[in-house]
Amino acid sequence: MSDSEEREGPHAERPQDWAPATRLVRGGLARTPYGEIAEPIFLTQSFAYDSAEAADRRFSGEDPGFIYARYGNPTVKMFEDRLALLEGATGCRALASGMAAVNIALLGLLRAGDHLVASRALFGSCRWIVTQMLPRFGVESTVVDGTDLEAWRAAVRPNTKAFFLESPANPLLEIIDIPAVAEIAHATGAKLVVDNAFASPILQSPLQLGADMVVYSATKHIDGQGRVLGGAILGEDAALDEHYKELIRHTGPALSPFSAWVLLKGLETLELRVMRQSATAATLADKIAEHTAVDRIFYPARADHPQATIAARQMKAGGTIMAFDLGGRPKAFAFLNALQIVDISNNLADAKSLAVHPSTTTHRSTPEADRLAIGLTEGCVRLSVGLEDPVDLERDLMRALNAAGSAA
Ligand SMILES: *Cc1c(COP(=O)(O)O)cnc(C)c1O
């Protein structure tokens, strides 16, 4: 029973007509008879039935209520409904982490004997699933330069069932032309799964760009305040049921109701945070690029980004994350060690600005040759811009860049 459903008639507000800011605060709200303003946390594993017949109806699917928290939970459902409304998707399945979402999204589409094509610039764990785990179960995979459309086309085989990409990619913000790759996937009957963690639902809508499924690490922008892990798969509700319903129910990657509640509250401020962090990042990227210690900067909204035109077409802004090459590990480490406000941390999209050396941390498990193929040298630093005052951040970053400049 959502608030809006109670008010029926010709003048009833329809959540689908709301702008994103309203969807983020009110979407999916399902109040109990107490009329609480904040969303309740239903910290319950299971549910009681009025009669044996009611339990029978619940299990048959005739009565759509909740059964067990591994299958669904009211707080988790509020999070799913709110995120689906924001994304413009008919379905959302919330999961325990971003990796649970990536794993389920791919496992549900693939069987032994199938083939997957993925872009090579992937988060380390995503890459492990594609190149190490899926082949163990008889799924072949080909990793391509995601910016090269001809490479996607050439990788297609008769048994290709899925395409997977990240855009912007972790850690060097490589941008992939989502509509063009969707067209190649669909021409061969494959489904396109897009990991949209870096852009967030505020800056990019992969489903509108032609993707079949979009996956999130809700740990990133959606929480965005360093608290809980979470993930989600969004797409057409019937397709999510077809590919993922049984897999999710029987393998157990359920999101905790408490974490779902934290993420619901995160959604309320998502647009404010992403727009502000992105504006600060754009200003800082220009200042960082001018510093003599910086050999190269990677930020999607800058004209010197290799895929700047595609980024401008499919993203509303450059985002909260950038990377830059300082020309060697000693300089990158000197930069990180001189920071006084920005933390050294492998997380990203947080209210607190965070910087990391990907080669020795997040992308440590990616073989060196593969790191170099995507331009990830030992001099690269990834910076996630938070909500601190831009002037304070600029001072901290310039001091650290000076330290990098004078390091051996
Ligand atoms: C962090 C991240 C993930 C994994 O998310 P978790 O919530 O940490 O499991 C997946 N994809 C991308 C692009 C990420 O940045």
* Mean pLDDT on 327-331: 97
User: Residue 3 pLDDT more than 90?
Assistant: no
Ligand 1 atom showing the smallest separation from residue 170 Cα: 13
Measured in Å, residue 305 CA sits from the centre of ligand 1 at 23
pLDDT digits (tens, 9 = 90+) for 78-132: 999 999 999 999 999 999 999 999 999 999 999 999 999 999 988 889 999 999 9
Measured in Å, residue 197 CA sits from the centre of ligand 1 at 7
Predicted pLDDT of residue 293 = 97
Residue of the CA atom closest to atom 4 of ligand 1: 98
Ligand 1 atom showing the smallest separation from residue 166 Cα: 13
Helix (H, G, I), strand (E, B) or coil at 305: coil
Report the residue among 97, 103, 125, 263 best suited for mutation to probe ligand 1: largest number of ligand atoms under 8 A from its CB: 125
- Taking Cα atoms as reference points, which of 19, 75, 129 lies closest to residue 263? 75
Predicted pLDDT of residue 1 = 43
Measured in Å, residue 214 CA sits from the centre of ligand 1 at 13
* Mean pLDDT on 182-201: 98
Ligand 1 atom showing the smallest separation from residue 100 Cα: 9
Measured in Å, residue 220 CA sits from the centre of ligand 1 at 7
Which is more confidently placed, 211 or 370? Answer: 211
In percent, how much of the chain has pLDDT > 90?
91
Give, in order, the Cα–Cα distances in Å from 101 to each of 27, 131, 264, 350: 22, 17, 17, 20
Report the residue among 99, 175, 203 best suited for mutation to probe ligand 1: largest number of ligand atoms under 8 A from its CB: 99
Q: Is domain 270-406 in CATH 3.90.1150.10, yes or no? A: yes
Helix (H, G, I), strand (E, B) or coil at 327: coil
Cβ atoms within 10 Å, residue 122: 27
User: Residue 4 pLDDT more than 50?
Assistant: no
Residue of the CA atom closest to atom 15 of ligand 1: 197
Measured in Å, residue 233 CA sits from the centre of ligand 1 at 13
Predicted pLDDT of residue 6 = 54
Give, in order, the Cα–Cα distances in Å from 148 to each of 173, 174, 206, 380: 15, 11, 19, 23
Average pLDDT over the chain, rounded to whole? Answer: 96
Query: Distance (Å, rounded) from C-alpha 396 to C-alpha 343?
Result: 11
Q: Is domain 12-41+72-268 in CATH 3.40.640.10, yes or no? A: yes
CA angle 191, 147, 172 (to 5 degrees): 105
Write the DSSP string, 72-120.
--HHHHHHHHHHHHHHT-SEEEEESSHHHHHHHHHHTT--TT-EEEEES
pLDDT digits (tens, 9 = 90+) for 130-182: 999 999 999 999 999 999 999 999 999 999 999 999 999 989 999 999 999 99
Predicted pLDDT of residue 315 = 98
User: Residue 5 pLDDT more than 60?
Assistant: no
Ligand 1 atom showing the smallest separation from residue 220 Cα: 1
Ligand 1 atom showing the smallest separation from residue 219 Cα: 7
Q: Is the peptide bond before 358 cis (omega within 30 degrees of 0)?
A: no
Domains 12-41+72-268 and 270-406 in one fold: no
User: Residue 374 pLDDT more than 90?
Assistant: no
Measured in Å, residue 16 CA sits from the centre of ligand 1 at 28
235: tokens are 């797409």
Residue of the CA atom closest to atom 5 of ligand 1: 98
Cβ atoms within 10 Å, residue 188: 15
pLDDT digits (tens, 9 = 90+) for 208-224: 999 999 999 999 999 99
Residues 6+ apart with CB under 8 A from 393: 280, 284, 341, 342, 353, 385, 386
Predicted pLDDT of residue 336 = 98
Residues 6+ apart with CB under 8 A from 356: 171, 336, 344, 345, 346, 348, 362, 381, 382
- Fill in the DSSP letter of residue 132: I
User: Among 39-43, 224-228, 242-246, 363-367, where is mean pLDDT lowest?
Assistant: 363-367
Give, in order, the Cα–Cα distances in Å from 138 to each of 86, 107, 113, 131, 192: 36, 11, 6, 11, 20
Query: Distance (Å, rounded) from C-alpha 313 to C-alpha 301?
Result: 11
pTM: 0.95
Cβ–Cβ under 8 Å, residues 172 and 375: yes
- Cα 110–chain centre separation: 21
Predicted pLDDT of residue 408 = 76
User: Residue 2 pLDDT more than 60?
Assistant: no
Q: Which residues does ligand 1 sit against, CB inside 6 Å?
A: 97-99, 102, 123, 126, 166, 170, 195, 197-198, 217, 219-220, 229, 231
126: tokens are 């995503």
Predicted pLDDT of residue 28 = 94
Measured in Å, residue 299 CA sits from the centre of ligand 1 at 19
Predicted pLDDT of residue 385 = 98
Strand order in the sheet with 91-95: 91-95, 231-235, 213-217, 191-195, 160-166, 115-119, 140-144
Predicted pLDDT of residue 233 = 98
**Beta strands at 380-384 and 321-325: parallel, antiparallel or unpaired:** antiparallel
Report the residue among 217, 227, 320, 347 best suited for mutation to probe ligand 1: largest number of ligand atoms under 8 A from its CB: 217
Domain boundaries, the chain: 12-41+72-268, 270-406
Q: What share of the chain is helix, strand, coil (3-state, %, to 5)?
A: 45, 15, 40
Residue of the CA atom closest to atom 8 of ligand 1: 98
- Fill in the DSSP letter of residue 157: -
Q: How many Cα atoms occupy the beta-carbon half-sphere of 186 within 13 Å?
A: 11
274: tokens are 């992403």
Measured in Å, residue 98 CA sits from the centre of ligand 1 at 5
User: Residue 7 pLDDT more than 70?
Assistant: no
pLDDT digits (tens, 9 = 90+) for 264-315: 999 999 999 999 999 999 999 999 999 999 999 999 999 999 999 999 999 9
Residues 6+ apart with CB under 8 A from 236: 89, 90, 91, 212
Q: State the distance between the two ends of the chain, measured CA to CA, in whole angstroms.
A: 64
Ligand 1 atom showing the smallest separation from residue 102 Cα: 10
